[in-house]
Amino acid sequence: MSTVVESLKQFWYFTGFANATWQNLVMILIGILFIYIAIKKEWEPLLLVPIGFGMIVGNIPMFPGLNIGIYEDGSVLNTLYQGVKQGWYPPLIFLGIGAMTDFSALISQPRLLLIGAAAQMGIFGAYLLALALGFDPNQAGAIGIIGGADGPTAIFLSSQLAPELMGAIAVSAYSYMALVPVIQRPIMLALTTQKERLIRMPSPRQVSQKEKIIFPVVGFLLTAFIVPSGLPLLGMLFFGNLLKESGVTRRLAETARGPLIDVVTTLIGLTVGASTQADKFLSLTSIKIFGLGLTSFIIATTCGVCFVKIWNLFLKDGKKINPLIGNAGVSAVPDSARVSETVGREFDPNNHLLMHAMGPNVAGVIGSAVAAGILLGFLS
Give the CA-trace dihedral at 281, 284, 289, 292, to 10 degrees. 160
- From candidates 113, 187, 298, 328, binder to other proteins by CB under 8 A: 113
When the beta carbons of 27 and 118 are compared against other proteins, the nearer one is 118
Residue 105 is a binding residue for other proteins (CB under 8 A): yes
Residue 57 is a binding residue for other proteins (CB under 8 A): no
Give the CA-trace dihedral at 329, 331, 333, 334, to 10 degrees. -20
What is the C-alpha separation between 288 and 142, in angstroms, rounded? Answer: 13
When the beta carbons of 22 and 225 are compared against other proteins, the nearer one is 225
Residue 1 is a binding residue for other proteins (CB under 8 A): no
Residue 320 is a binding residue for other proteins (CB under 8 A): no
What is the C-alpha separation between 71 and 280, in angstroms, rounded? Answer: 10
What is the C-alpha separation between 182 and 199, in angstroms, rounded? Answer: 23
What is the C-alpha separation between 77 and 67, in angstroms, rounded? Answer: 9
Q: Name the segment binding other proteins (CB under 8 A); options: 10-18, 105-113, 183-191, 192-200.
A: 105-113
When the beta carbons of 58 and 240 are compared against other proteins, the nearer one is 240
Residue 301 is a binding residue for other proteins (CB under 8 A): no
Give the CA-trace dihedral at 139, 184, 26, 76, to 10 degrees. -60
Whether the Cβ atoms of residue 133 and residue 288 lie closer than 8 Å to each other = yes
Residue 222 is a binding residue for other proteins (CB under 8 A): yes
- From candidates 26, 80, 214, 217, binder to other proteins by CB under 8 A: 214
- What is each CA distance from 120 to 198, 206, 213, 330, in whole angstroms? 26, 28, 26, 7
- From candidates 82, 86, 111, 164, binder to other proteins by CB under 8 A: 111
Q: Which of 163, 124, 103 is nearest to 361 (CA)?
A: 103
Query: How many C-beta atoms surround the C-beta of residue 107 within 10 A?
Result: 21
Residue 86 is a binding residue for other proteins (CB under 8 A): no
When the beta carbons of 24 and 241 are compared against other proteins, the nearer one is 241
Binding residues for other proteins, rule: CB under 8 A, are 100, 102, 104-108, 110-114, 116-118, 120-121, 123-124, 127-128, 131-132, 136-138, 140, 161, 203, 205-208, 210-211, 214-215, 218-219, 222-223, 226-227, 248-251, 334, 338, 341, 350, 352, 354-355, 358, 363, 366-367, 370-371, 374-375, 378-380
